[in-house]
Amino acid sequence: MNAKFNFDDEMQFLATGMTPGYLNAPRQFSHGAGALLFDERGREYIDFCSGTLTNIAGHSHSEITHFMQKRIAELWNIHDYSSPYRLSTLKLINDITPNSIDTYEFYSSGSETIEAGLRALLSYLPKNKQRFCSFSGGFHGKTLGARQIINWRLEGEYFEPTFQIPFPDKIGISASEKHQLEDKSLTIAKKLFSQHPSIGAFIFEPIQGASGCLQASKTYWSELKAICSQYNILFFADEVCVGLGRTGKNFAVNHYNIEPDLIAFAKGLGNGFPVMCLGGRKAIMNASPYGDPGGASTTFGGNPLAIGAIYATLSTYNKETLVLKTKPIEELILARLKMLSIQSKIIDDFRCIGAFATIAFKSDQYGIAVHKKCIELELKSFTFGNLFRIVPPLVITKKQIQKGLDILTSAIEFVEKN
């Protein structure tokens, strides 16, 4: 029998670098069903987090659960040897990825997958074109290579700076300011690439998640891709957060007609099971030393349970056409956020695409306070400081979305009055 949940007792053993959401409104959840979660006392919560953008088919999906129960009884780890569902899984993945992608490797976390992509690029690119460029404000993970892409240094740490250009969107700007920012970003890109022929790859999030669901126009992406092509710069898309239906397309790059050379995806791939995928052009993925025997391998990536989770999730994703469920979710969220942005004095701005939305509050204190009130009112939300995210499972019902938005509205009104 597990001991009764005690936050202070747990924190005697846990590192303090937990998420601010948990630290400010701790709960212990015992089980879930669809878009619902239940704590150890039996209280029911609407999940506006999908775990952490992972459980796209919801919690305890009956078909996925039944399938995985069988896999657990069969085989857990055989390193990178084949297991019964691997070929079928690869075919399912290949059916939905961009046409430019045809070769794959499996990993266990987003950062590990990004690191693998960097190794593949450095294996393929000529020695005189091995510098990278990224967007300012991006996030690609917390490991060393992933942090180098965004110039995130720890104290005492040194590495060669990565070139950066401004992302053409910011919280709180107008449509005209956004257009000006797109022009500025493209101008900087042209100058940077012409002055630094050593840049061989551009690493980017098609939609910036950690900065607030920021988005660029189709015209911007078309022009940026043309500039990169002019200077023989490869496109590496980071879709760890936004891949697999979250934004209303299989992948966010599909919104912008981007054909990446590499793509890392996706938190939702195993419906909460820790599995990620790196896809790329065969010439890049098979380049030495990444493509040498053992060069791409990893201890847990692609283990039989992970493969089973992907197979079951993608089968459900296709059968239930989950990608099509994001549009009605978006319509409900967008309508409420437009209303709240007009009525509320503590909201600075918002962004929404598909089942992926962010409210930018005017301070961290407001964001945390709203989160705490949401938990109290039985809505599990996802916040880091002032950025409050709405990323429900794609199976969430209209009634659950509306109830969750009603709770969120009440929480904002409470914080404004107090």
Structural contact between residues 271 and 277, judged by C-beta atoms closer than 8 angstroms = no
Could you say which residues of the chain have pLDDT below 50? 1
Supply the DSSP symbol for 42: -
Does the pTM surpass 0.75? The reply is yes
**Closest of 153, 35, 106 to residue 402, by C-alpha:** 35
Supply the DSSP symbol for 130: -
CA distance 52 to 274: 11
Supply the DSSP symbol for 254: G
Q: For 292-397, where are the alpha helices, taking DSSP H only?
A: 304-319, 326-343, 364-376
pLDDT of residue 35: 98
CA distance 133 to 320: 38
Beta strands per DSSP E along 121-209? 131-135, 163-165, 199-204
pLDDT of residue 2: 64
pLDDT of residue 4: 85
Structural contact between residues 45 and 59, judged by C-beta atoms closer than 8 angstroms = no
CA distance 11 to 331: 40
Structural contact between residues 322 and 243, judged by C-beta atoms closer than 8 angstroms = no
CA distance 379 to 409: 11
Structural contact between residues 263 and 102, judged by C-beta atoms closer than 8 angstroms = no
In three-state secondary structure terms, 125 is coil
User: Is residue 152 packed enough to be buried (19+ CB in 10 Å), middle (13-18) or exposed (0-12)?
Assistant: middle
Q: For 1-109, where are the alpha helices, taking DSSP H only?
A: 7-11, 20-24, 50-53, 62-72, 86-96
